[in-house]
Homo-oligomer: A and B are copies of this chain.
Amino acid sequence: MKTLTVQLGKRSYPIYIGNHLLENAGLILQHAPTKQLLIVTNDTIAPLYLGTLLGTLAGARTETVILPDGEQYKNLETMNRIYNVLLEKRFDRHCTLIALGGGVIGDMTGFAAATYQRGVNFIQVPTTLLAQVDSSVGGKTGVNHPLGKNMIGAFYQPLSVIADTNTLNTLDDRELSAGIAEVIKYGLIRDSGFFSWLESNMDRLLNRDPDCLAYAIERSCRNKAEVVATDELEAGERALLNLGHTFGHAIEAGMGYGSWLHGEAVAAGMVMAAQLSTAHGWLDPATLDRIVALIAKAKLPVKGPAGMSMQQYLGLMSVDKKVKAGKINLVLLKHLGEAIVCDDYNPALLDAVLKQHCD
């Protein structure tokens, strides 16, 4: 088992990465100050891992909420199901919520923990690659609104993140690739050595080589933890983690939540960001080719979905959280491994890049 720490002063917390951690009661319960626990999971994960986790936590007073699986359920109505159980079962403010699932479960459980009785404890137990390398770390929680993704939420840190790599064995190939999109992102924005490693090891990753997966998760979490420690509330550097996300959120909203996976939309969005960076003369065309090739090798889309118009992209991008005073801020690449937040790009070049993805 590997242990990393997200350094946030009094709110610092450990990330554990290893095999069969779901069966480690001591590891999970050390961060649950009382033994009143609510496991929040979904109907895909519950048949696979809920029994194991309930067995591990047999000594505690544990309740369960099983939500429908999918980004389209990440909303306030679904949140209310969590609140209902907490209140019906009389959970007090010393209780602990456990998120067992992917990014959607983690974001909703975290937001429920942030807002139940003005804040209770929570533990992330991510079961997808995307959640293990990205969404479970750093305290971003929330739900979608029909007018924009993740528009309602809070920064709220977990007490620990427990990434059991064993759970990745049941992940379908499409979900695995979606997680790899965020792994590639760390290479692009701040770790070019990792990008090169990914070029050499993509086949092994796709074949779920355990050592290879564990290494990619650890190196991704280390990158994320460093960024979050520097800028918890996204006043600066943390925004770089959104490479491809403003484009990607537009794709997710435009196609209807749940149609494209988040990682797929981010993959196409990273291609758009890299193309726009190249159009400005920052990234050289050979590097752009390497980026597109690696994303394609990961079996991820390198082109936006059919049927979206440029106007639709621009409209949806302008409600993203990265907007300031009406200007869409974009994360672009100065070089491989170096990203910037930029609002002085050439809008005509943005239009041209989007048009390539709209035919």
Query: Is A297 in the interface zone, CB < 8 Å from B?
Result: no
Of the candidates A117, A150, A154, the one having the most CB atoms from chain B within 10 angstroms of its own CB is A117
Bin chain A's interface residue count: 35 or more
Q: Which residues does chain B contribute within 8 Å of A325, judged by CB atoms?
A: 34, 36, 92, 94
Query: Is A88 in the interface zone, CB < 8 Å from B?
Result: yes
How far, in whole Å, are A326 and B91 apart by their CA atoms in the complex? 9
> CB distance B324 to A152 under 8 Å?
no
> CB distance A319 to B90 under 8 Å?
yes
Given contacts A114-B154, A117-B321, contact A145 B90 (CB under 8 A): no
> CB distance B83 to A151 under 8 Å?
yes
A residues in contact (CB < 8 Å) with B? 34, 36, 76, 80, 83-84, 87-88, 90, 92-94, 114-119, 140-142, 145, 147-148, 150-155, 233-234, 318-319, 321, 323-326
Q: How far is the CB of A171 from chain B (nearest CB, A)?
A: 28
How far, in whole Å, are A140 and B119 apart by their CA atoms in the complex? 11
Q: Which residues does chain B contribute within 8 Å of A115, judged by CB atoms?
A: 115, 142, 152-154
Q: Which residues does chain B contribute within 8 Å of A87, judged by CB atoms?
A: 145, 147-148, 151, 319
Q: How far is the CB of A253 from chain B (nearest CB, A)?
A: 11
> CB distance A93 to B155 under 8 Å?
no
* CB-CB nearest 6 A-B residue pairs: A87-B147, A92-B323, A117-B321, A118-B153, A115-B152, A118-B155
How far, in whole Å, are A153 and B115 apart by their CA atoms in the complex? 5
Q: How far is the CB of A142 from chain B (nearest CB, A)?
A: 6
Quick one: which of B76, B83, B147, B148 contacts A145, CB cutoff 8 A?
A: B83
How far, in whole Å, are A234 and B153 apart by their CA atoms in the complex? 22
